[in-house]
A and B are shown apart, each in its own frame.
Chain A
């Protein structure tokens, strides 16, 4: 079907493997996401912090000659930071979760709504491309981006610190790596599932974005009010960030100050994600059927 010939011809060339075809969706999405200069600057700023500032902080106490050259007392620098689970949690994990949330706020709500709003979904699903491949492809956009923000630089910092400190520190703090990895994934999956469900259900990007803010900012305040009125701590189960924090502190081996038990935190997150998956399963269809 060459342009100048203007006639219909079938395609008989090679086809791409079916299993990796869902990756077409992130490839197209990233072209749009990365065309935003503001978002690129935001990601670059985080990259500077995670891949330059923090590695320098880890490196400096190990180059005493450099510090002495600038008249800085090495002991002061060494004493300022204790490179343990608390450092990785406070200086990397918490900021990375905030950056991941803000990124999800930018990227997530637009992912499915653009397709659903103008009945674009039948075009995808009329091809050898199933509903769950579609969801996987859209999720991959978030999973890859948020991984690059959270656990990938986190594990890099851990490996760098281990290289500087040696085998003893590495074997003694392996739990930190496990904490970075799993806490990141819990947060990533949560953000991914919630933002995709909102995007699919509300079909309108600004409303989906606002709802994502409501879930993580307003819902916890409602939980606080419930706690206050009923003199309980169960209202906190509405605070997804707090629940993630409880799980994360458990993984990092840091004492949690919350009254909500760890299993309850797990259950509340799992339930919330299950509801979101249910909403997605209902909405991500070629055509919605109204049953009489």
Chain B
């Protein structure tokens, strides 16, 4: 699979502050989530790839093109939706989107046609003729997405796309991102600190911490692995139950006197757990496959101990 982004000892420095440190890696996911706490360097990485901030060390390649020597061509392949409010006052959404399409190289007629299409696609319909400053936050986010996709880029950079959105707008945004991802026509990089957004939209995740890569993993593989990751809540004390399960070869962590987490080995089935519970006369109140896999990956990357597993 061709790498979407390759980082080669990439560093970015603002004055004395080293924001990105020696980032190296090759990322080829259809949709990559860029996670990290505030100040981890997510937005700086996107800006550096767009050529807004020159690297202080190393380089990066997008679809095999070097950001240092081929910046303009790279930007021709990218659609960028910034995190903050970004619009030109006094312009309607259709006018701004058309302008952006023309700046990407589309002839005026095609630019106008695609501007209407992109705005319809994101759901702005008749509101596309209104001035952008009269838009609600949700509409502004949609307009930013429309200008990012109007020229049909091969790679989309979405910086906190659901920031400040109410649930209906958030759902709409997530659905659009999923649609674009599933179309297979564009790769997507989503920078976010909302784990749920990344989990719903991305198949790979890159976690940054203090300007360094903390983790890069494939969420699908993690999800598959997590099918063996189980959390059980019992009615009464479970020390003996935990010991018996441990004897089966499970890795066990006791969270409280009623909750335990475990990783099942390949040869142990869930039925075996119920059997042990019946033998020890313990009522199993709840049994969950672990659902918050990304949260655990994230916390592990951040160095936070979460239940001992």
Contact = CB atoms under 8 A, between A and B. Distances in A.
A120 B120 CA distance: 22
A1 B103 contact: no
A8 B88 contact: no
A13 B109 CA distance: 12
A119 B121 contact: no
Given A16-B105, A287-B47, A118 B87 contact: yes
B42 to A, nearest CB: 14
A282 interface: no
A163 interface: no
Contact of A7 (B51, B75, B121): B121
Contacts of B89: 114, 117-118
B152 A1 contact: yes
Interface in A5-45: 6-16, 18, 21, 24, 28, 32
Interface in B49-85: 50-53, 72-73, 75-76, 78-80, 82, 84-85
The interface centre, meaning the residue of A3, A124, A290 with most chain B CB atoms within 10 A of its CB, is A3
Given A118-B87, A123-B82, A9 B152 contact: yes
Given A7-B183, A128-B73, A16 B107 contact: yes
Contacts of A290: 14
Contacts of A10: 152-154, 185-186
A114 B88 contact: yes
Contacts of B116: 3
Contact of A292 (B15, B95, B110, B151): B15
- Interface on chain A toward B: helix, strand, loop, or mixed SS? loop
Contact of B17 (A9, A114, A125, A291): A291
Nearest to A129: B103
Contacts of A125: 50-52
Contact of A122 (B52, B107, B154): B52
A175 interface: no
A127 interface: yes
Contacts of B17: 291-292
Contacts of B200: none
A119 B82 contact: yes
Given A1-B117, A21-B103, A127-B104, A7 B76 contact: no
Contacts of A2: 117
Interface residues of B, number: 54
A238 to B, nearest CB: 33
A128 B152 contact: no
A285 B52 contact: yes
Interface string A109-134: 00000110111101111111110000
A286 interface: yes
Nearest to B119: A3
Given A2-B117, A16-B102, A285-B52, A8 B82 contact: no
Nearest to A113: B89
B191 interface: no
Interface in A125-160: 125-130
A117 B84 CA distance: 12
A127 B121 contact: no
A123 B78 CA distance: 11
A128 B179 contact: no
A127 B153 CA distance: 10
B88 A115 contact: yes
Interface in A185-206: none
B38 to A, nearest CB: 16
B105 A119 contact: no
A119 B14 contact: no
B90 A32 contact: yes
A271 interface: no
A80 interface: no
A126 B84 contact: no
B93 interface: no
B268 interface: no
The interface centre, meaning the residue of B72, B78, B103, B152 with most chain A CB atoms within 10 A of its CB, is B103
Contacts of A24: 99, 102-103
Given A2-B117, A122-B86, A287-B52, A292 B99 contact: no
Contacts of A12: 152
A6 B121 contact: yes
B90 A114 contact: yes
A8 B50 CA distance: 22
B86 A127 contact: no
Contacts of B209: none
A120 B88 contact: yes
A42 B280 CA distance: 95
A10 B184 CA distance: 10
A114 B99 CA distance: 14
Given A2-B117, A7-B183, A127-B103, 5 more contacts: A32-B90, A118-B133, A123-B100, A128-B105, A287-B47
13 contacts: A1-B117, A21-B105, A118-B88, A118-B89, A119-B86, A120-B86, A123-B80, A123-B82, A125-B51, A126-B80, A128-B72, A128-B73, A128-B76
Interface of B: 14-17, 47, 50-53, 72-73, 75-76, 78-80, 82, 84-90, 95-96, 99-100, 102-107, 110, 114, 116-118, 120-121, 133, 147, 149, 151-154, 157, 179-180, 183, 185-186
Instruction: Report, nearest first, the 6 A-B pairs whose CB atoms are least far apart.
Output: A291-B15, A11-B152, A15-B105, A10-B152, A126-B80, A286-B52
Interface of A: 1-3, 6-16, 18, 21, 24, 28, 32, 114-115, 117-120, 122-130, 285-287, 289-292
